[in-house]
C-alpha cells in the first residue's frame, strides 16, 4: 500500500482535481489518501468526502501550517512510500502512481521528487517552471531539492523527524535534504501538473524575486523560521492563524486525572501494558490535536474534571470538583463483570464492586463509554440514565502502527521465523479473560504455524496462569515497543471473552492486519463479521475462520485494508478529539472560569 498526503486550507476549488486524478489512476496496489485540513472555512472537507466511494482509504485529519499538515497526515498513514502532494497538483498520467512507485522501489530510494508542468496557456509560465526543473536537475548533484510532489520512504520520514515545523518557507527542500541522509535521492522521470494560481495572484516577476530572496537568505542565514515577506499557504495567512489561536482560548479547560498514573509517573503500570492507560494517553493526544487546554495539576482552576480511574481518591475528587462548580466526566474503563474473570482475588468482591461502581457512576455529570455494549451494561445493571452516557472510542494513534520492515525482520530472526512463514499473534495480558485457552487450542490445530502472545505474564497467585502448550506457541511477555509485535505478524487472533472495546483490535487494524475476534457484544455496531474482521463463537468457528485467512493471502490483505479504512474514519486521535470537544460543548460549561483563573490548594 502507498500513502498520499495532501495538506489543505480552503481548497474547495482545487481538492477535487487532485482527488479525481488519484481516483483515475491505473494501479493495483492499495492507495491510501490522507487530507490534512487546517480548519478550512470553505467546503474543502465536503468536496473531499464526495470521493470516499472511489477512494475507500480516504481520511481527513487535522492539519495546520503546511509542514504540520504533512507530518500529521504521514503519522496517520501506514503506506510505504509516502507521496506528499500539494492540493493544487493533478496527476496527468493514469500510470503516474504506479510508475513512480516502481521507480522509487527499484532504485531503493529514501526520497525523491518529480518535475513540474504548468497548467497554463501562458508561455512565460512554461519558461519559469522549466527553469525550476532545470535547477532541480542540476541541484541533484549538489544539494537535493523538492517541492509540491515529494516521495519519501516511511523509514526516511521517521528518521528525519518529518517536515521542519518551525520553518515558514522552503521547509520541503530541507525535508528532502534531511531524508537524503538516510538513503538515495533522485528526480523521477515524471511530471506533475501544477496550477499557476500563485503566479497569477502575486505576479510572475514578484514571485521570482521572492524565491531569489528566499534562496539568498537560506544560503546566508540558514532555514527561514520567520516571515521575510508575505507568503501564504493556500489562503492561510499568519493573521488568520493568529485569529484561530485566539479563538482556541475560548474553549473549556480540562483537568485530566488517573489514580496511580499521576502519583507514580506510570511506574505501577510499566511492564504490564493496560488498555485504560493507553486510552488516558490518547485523551491527552486528542485534546492537544484540538487545541484544548488540559492539565494534570489538580491545583489549576478548570471547567471540566475528567477522570479515568475508579478508586476512592477519584470519588473524593469528583465530589470536590463538583462542589466548586466544575463539570465532571468519568471514563467507564471497568465494570465488575470484566474484573470478575480477570483476577482471582477480585471474584469474591464482585457484589461489593458493583455497588461501589454504581455509586461512583451516579456522582458524575457524564460517563464516557468506549462502546455501546458498555453503555447498555451501565444502563441495565447499574441503573445509569441513558442521557448520562456517551459513546466515544478509546481511539488509536494510527500513524504509530504500520509494518516496519526492519522490526519485522529483527523479531523474526530472533525467533527463527522465515520471512515467508505465517505468524499469528495476540497482544494482551496473559490472563484467562483474554482467551488464552482458545489461543493454545488453535496452536494445537495449526501445528505448522507459529503463534506468539505478547503481554504481561502473571503468577498463578494473581491470575489463572498459562496452561501447558505446544512448542509452536510462545508467551513472549511484555514488549516495550508494541509496534514490534504488529510489524512481525500476519494475522491477529484476539479471542477475549469480555471487552469494553478492545484497544488491541484498533492497534492491529491500524497496522493493516486481518483480525479474528470472539463474537461478543463489545464489537456490535462497529465491527462487521466478514467485512472488517472474522467473528467466532467457539473454537470450531475460530478454526474455520483462521483456516480461511491462512489459505487466502488476498483475503488477508483485503480484510486488513477494509478494517484499517474504517478505523481511520472513526477511531483516530483526531476523531476522538472532535467528539470530546462536542461533549464539552454539550455540557454547557460555565465560561466564567475562563475569566477567573486562580490557583487553589490541593
User: What per-residue confidence (pLDDT) applies to 600?
Assistant: 35
Q: Omega into 81 within 30° of 0, i.e. cis? A: yes
User: What per-residue confidence (pLDDT) applies to 435?
Assistant: 94
Q: Is residue 229 scored above 70 in pLDDT?
A: no
Q: Which residue has the higher pLDDT, 400 or 97?
A: 97
Q: Which residue has the higher pLDDT, 496 or 244?
A: 496
Q: Which residue has the higher pLDDT, 101 or 399?
A: 101
Q: What angle do CA 56, 58, 64 make, to 5 degrees?
A: 170
Q: What angle do CA 511, 455, 565 make, to 5 degrees?
A: 15
Contacts of 476 (CB under 8 A, 6+ apart): 452, 453, 454, 455, 485
Where does residue 348 fall: left (phi above 0), alpha (psi -120 to 50 degrees), or beta otherwise? Answer: alpha
User: What per-residue confidence (pLDDT) applies to 228?
Assistant: 64
Q: Contact at 8 Å (CB) between 4 and 83?
A: yes
User: What per-residue confidence (pLDDT) applies to 267?
Assistant: 42
Q: Is residue 426 scored above 50 in pLDDT?
A: yes
User: What per-residue confidence (pLDDT) applies to 336?
Assistant: 65
Q: Which of 233-237, 251-255, 277-281, 326-330 has the highest mean pLDDT?
A: 326-330
Give residue 296's pLDDT band: very low, low, confident or very high (50, 70, 90).
Answer: confident
Q: What angle do CA 205, 208, 212 make, to 5 degrees?
A: 140
Q: Are strands 2-8 and 31-37 parallel, antiparallel or unpaired?
A: parallel
User: What per-residue confidence (pLDDT) applies to 51?
Assistant: 93
User: What per-residue confidence (pLDDT) applies to 87?
Assistant: 93
Tens digit of pLDDT for each residue in 556-597?
A: 999 999 999 999 889 998 899 999 999 999 887 443 333 343
User: What per-residue confidence (pLDDT) applies to 230?
Assistant: 58
For cell 498514573, the residue is 261
Per-chain mean pLDDT for the chain: 85
Q: Which residue has the higher pLDDT, 161 or 491?
A: 491
Q: Of the given ranges (30-44, 193-207, 257-271), which has the lowest mean pLDDT?
A: 257-271
d(CA 533, CA 508): 11
Contacts of 150 (CB under 8 A, 6+ apart): 83, 84, 111, 112, 113, 172, 175, 176
User: What per-residue confidence (pLDDT) applies to 340?
Assistant: 55
User: What per-residue confidence (pLDDT) applies to 402?
Assistant: 83
User: What per-residue confidence (pLDDT) applies to 171?
Assistant: 87
User: What per-residue confidence (pLDDT) applies to 21?
Assistant: 95
Q: Contact at 8 Å (CB) between 535 and 519?
A: yes
Average pLDDT over residues 175-189: 92
User: What per-residue confidence (pLDDT) applies to 405?
Assistant: 87
Model pTM? 0.64
Q: Contact at 8 Å (CB) between 582 and 292?
A: no
| pLDDT above 90 coverage of the chain, percent | 53
Tens digit of pLDDT for each residue in 459-493?
A: 655 556 688 999 999 999 888 889 999 999 999 99
User: What per-residue confidence (pLDDT) applies to 268?
Assistant: 43
Q: Of the given ranges (136-150, 482-496, 538-552), which has the lowest mean pLDDT?
A: 136-150
d(CA 594, CA 602): 20
Tens digit of pLDDT for each residue in 252-292?
A: 889 999 876 554 444 444 445 566 788 888 999 898 878 78
Q: Is residue 343 scored above 60 in pLDDT?
A: no
User: What per-residue confidence (pLDDT) applies to 143?
Assistant: 84
How many angstroms from the chain centroid is the CA of residue 241?
24
3-state secondary structure 408-461: HHHHHHHCCCCCCCCEEEEECCECHHHCHHHHHHHHHHCCCCEEEEECCECCCC
Amino acid at each position: 500500500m502507498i500513502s498520499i498526503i495532501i495538506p489543505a486550507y480552503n481548497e474547495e476549488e482545487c481538492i477535487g482535481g487532485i482527488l479525481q486524478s488519484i481516483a483515475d489512476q491505473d494501479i493495483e496496489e492499495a492507495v491510501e489518501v490522507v487530507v490534512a485540513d487546517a480548519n478550512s472555512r470553505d467546503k474543502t472537507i465536503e468536496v473531499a468526502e464526495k470521493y470516499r466511494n472511489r477512494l475507500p482509504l480516504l481520511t481527513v485529519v487535522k492539519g495546520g501550517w503546511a509542514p504540520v499538515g504533512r507530518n500529521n497526515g504521514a503519522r496517520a498513514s501506514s503506506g510505504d512510500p509516502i507521496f506528499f502532494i500539494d492540493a493544487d497538483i493533478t496527476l496527468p498520467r493514469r500510470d503516474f502512481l504506479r510508475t513512480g512507485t516502481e521507480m522509487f522501489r527499484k532504485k531503493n530510494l529514501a526520497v525523491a521528487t518529480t518535475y513540474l508542468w504548468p497548467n497554463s496557456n501562458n508561455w512565460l509560465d512554461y519558461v519559469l517552471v522549466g527553469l525550476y526543473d532545470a535547477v532541480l536537475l542540476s541541484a541533484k548533484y549538489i544539494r537535493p531539492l523538492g517541492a509540491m510532489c515529494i516521495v519519501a520512504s516511511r523509514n526516511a520520514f521517521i528518521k528525519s523527524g518529518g517536515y521542519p515545523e518551525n520553518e515558514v518557507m522552503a521547509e520541503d527542500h530541507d525535508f528532502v535534504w534531511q531524508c537524503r541522509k538516510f538513503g538515495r535521492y533522485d528526480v523521477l522521470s515524471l511530471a506533475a501538473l501544477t496550477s499557476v494560481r500563485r503566479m497569477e495572484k502575486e505576479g510572475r516577476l514578484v514571485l521570482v524575486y521572492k524565491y531569489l530572496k528566499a534562496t539568498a537568505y537560506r544560503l546566508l542565514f540558514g532555514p527561514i523560521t520567520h516571515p521575510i515577506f508575505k507568503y501564504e499557504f493556500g489562503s492561510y495567512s499568519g493573521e488568520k492563524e493568529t485569529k484561530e489561536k485566539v479563538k482556541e482560548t475560548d474553549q473549556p479547560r480540562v483537568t485530566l486525572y488517573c489514580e496511580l498514573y499521576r502519583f507514580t509517573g506510570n511506574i505501577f503500570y510499566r511492564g504490564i501494558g493496560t488498555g485504560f492507560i493507553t486510552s488516558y494517553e490518547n485523551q491527552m493526544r486528542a485534546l492537544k490535536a484540538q487545541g484544548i487546554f488540559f492539565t494534570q495539576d489538580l491545583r489549576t482552576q478548570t471547567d471540566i474534571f475528567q477522570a479515568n480511574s475508579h478508586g476512592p481518591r477519584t470519588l473524593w475528587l469528583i465530589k470536590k470538583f463538583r462542589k466548586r462548580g466544575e463539570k465532571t466526566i468519568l471514563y467507564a474503563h471497568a465494570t465488575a463483570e470484566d474484573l470478575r474473570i480477570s483476577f482471582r482475588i477480585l471474584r469474591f468482591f464482585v457484589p461489593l464492586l458493583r455497588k461501589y461502581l454504581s455509586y461512583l457512576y451516579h456522582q458524575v455529570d457524564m460517563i464516557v463509554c468506549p462502546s455501546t455494549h458498555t453503555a447498555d451494561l451501565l444502563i441495565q445493571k447499574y441503573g445509569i440514565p441513558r442521557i448520562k452516557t456517551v459513546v466515544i472510542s478509546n481511539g488509536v494513534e494510527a500513524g504509530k502502527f504500520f509494518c516496519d520492515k526492519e522490526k519485522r525482520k529483527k523479531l523474526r530472526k530472533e525467533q527463527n521465523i522465515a520471512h515467508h512463514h505465517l505468524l499469528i499473534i495476540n497482544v494482551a495480558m496473559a490472563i484467562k479473560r483474554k482467551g488464552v485457552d482458545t489461543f493454545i487450542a488453535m496452536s494445537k490445530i495449526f501445528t505448522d504455524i507459529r503463534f506468539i502472545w505478547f503481554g504481561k505474564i502473571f503468577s498463578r497467585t494473581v491470575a489463572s496462569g498459562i496452561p501447558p502448550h505446544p512448542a509452536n506457541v510462545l508467551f513472549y511477555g511484555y514488549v516495550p515497543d508494541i509496534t514490534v509485535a504488529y510489524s512481525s505478524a500476519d494475522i491477529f487472533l484476539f479471542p477475549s471473552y469480555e471487552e469494553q472495546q478492545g484497544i488491541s483490535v484498533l492497534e492491529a487494524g491500524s497496522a493493516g492486519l486481518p483480525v479474528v475476534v470472539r463474537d461478543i457484544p463489545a464489537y456490535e455496531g462497529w465491527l462487521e463479521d466478514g467485512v472488517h474482521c472474522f467473528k467466532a463463537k467457539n473454537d470450531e468457528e475460530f478454526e474455520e475462520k483462521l483456516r480461511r485467512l491462512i489459505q487466502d493471502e488476498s483475503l488477508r490483505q483485503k480484510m486488513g485494508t477494509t478494517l484499517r479504512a474504517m478505523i481511520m474514519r472513526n477511531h483516530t486521535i483526531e476523531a476522538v478529539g472532535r467528539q470530546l470537544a462536542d461533549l464539552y460543548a454539550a455540557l454547557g460549561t460555565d465560561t466564567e472560569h475562563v475569566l477567573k483563573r486562580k490557583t487553589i490548594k490541593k
